[in-house]
Structure 1
Amino acid sequence: MIEPKILDDLARKLADSVPRGLQDFQRDVEKNFRATLNSAFARLDLVTREEFDVQQAVLARTRMKLEALETQVVELEVQAGLRKESQKPLEEQT
């Protein structure tokens, strides 16, 4: 979810665009902007940059492990005589 400080800053900037003579109205508008923005961002089901970076790192580690396992399977198949050394793994053949 978006950090509350970012929403507050965005709501404040939008409210600051309202003429200064309408101070009470401006406070109400800021509250409404904040609630509207919060609701809109909640519906988007966004993740934070930190969550995204963590998942990206997990995916990279998983990909490395998968590639190592694929190499190991090919080596075992060669040792068992199920595959010639010159044959590529199945995913590389397509």
Structure 2
Amino acid sequence: MFDPKKLELIAKQIHESMPQPVKDLGTDVDQKIRQVIQSQLNKLDVISREEFEVQTQVLLRTRQKLNAMEQKMAELEEKLSDK
């Protein structure tokens, strides 16, 4: 198995030995790829993790209220059927 530290050292040495225009090209390509990915992600119909957590809490509170109302309804139905 290869030692990851040695591979990282070799990659660093190769990167340092490259001419500056090649390094710049790699940086430009990296930036363009990131822009394209970000653009495509922005087109998706998704929400942030924060919004998801907020909506989860809202749903939990709504579920609790619904359960309480169902219990009250059952109690009222029981009282009505006893009469």
Fold equivalence (TM over 0.5): yes
**Aligned partner of 1:34: which letter?**
R
How many angstroms does 1:46 deviate by? Answer: 2.3
Task: Tell me by how many angstroms 1:68 deviates.
Answer: 0.4
Please, which runs of 5 or more residues in structure 1 have no aligned partner?
A: 1-18, 85-94
For 1:1-94, what aligned pairs fall within 5 Å after superposition? 20=15, 21=18, 22-81=22-81
User: 1 or 2, which has the higher helix percentage?
Assistant: 2
Larger-gyration structure (1/2):
2
| Amino acid of the structure 2 residue aligned with 1:77 | E
Please report how far the alpha carbon of residue 79 of structure 1 lies from its aligned counterpart in structure 2 after TM superposition.
Answer: 1.4
Percent identity between the aligned chains? Answer: 39
1:50 alignment partner AA: E
Select the structure with the greater relative contact order (CA < 8 A; seq sep ≥ 6). 1
Q: Which runs of 4+ in 1 moved over 2 A?
A: 43-46
Count of residues in correspondence between the two structures? 64
TM-score, reference length from structure 1: 0.58
Segments of 5+ residues of structure 2 without an aligned counterpart are 1-13
